[in-house]
Structure 1
Amino acid sequence: MEPEYRDILRALGASRLTIFWKIALPKTLPEFFGALKVAVTLAFIGTNLMEIVSPHGRGLGALFDSGKTNSDYPLMFAVLIALAILGIALYYVVVLLERIFASWAERQAE
């Protein structure tokens, strides 16, 4: 928040807690959710890549690696579809949270 705004609000009698909850936090929410969309997507990709190369994985990445090792291409394809659906679902969970908590924010076209 710009120091001028903070000084004006303090001069009008707003407490630090009021400034945080009413001004600073809502101002940061659009950027926070934009970063969260990217972070969730990249974390999901990174987790699954590590499961593929990890010798002790038990998730979808390990299942994909098992299909690759055994040349079970239908299994690999099914795992890829499941990963795509889960990745898209995670992204839209963040979009839903953004619409709930920052629906007032002006958006560019997605």
Structure 2
Amino acid sequence: MKENLKQRTKSFALAIIEMTALIPNHTAGRVIQGQIIKSSTSIGANYRSALRGRSKAEFISKIGIVEEEADETVYWLELLEESKIIEQEVIHPLLDEANQLTAIFTSMGKTAKSKK
């Protein structure tokens, strides 16, 4: 599961990076592009950091950050979709994956807290 999620979060970040090449180079596009690259790449980076946590409390804290970054990525994808900056066909698979990752890390955090 850990290796699968490490690869899944990396693949997701790479897909977002690829998608951002489609964002027009205007003020809103540049802002969203920078924000979504930061939040999507942070998911995998913080998940890896959580796995190396020195304590249960540190793991829970880092997983909370992962959950926040995944949810933030959902937000930026929704903005891209609703503003029609990017075609829905491009956004939908990414939005689905971002929602799934958010749910996985939310569940992971709740489980870790309950076993505290």
TM-score normalised by the chain length of structure 1:
0.38
Q: Which has the larger radius of gyration?
A: 1
- Output the TM-score relative to the length of structure 2: 0.36
Bigger helix share: 2
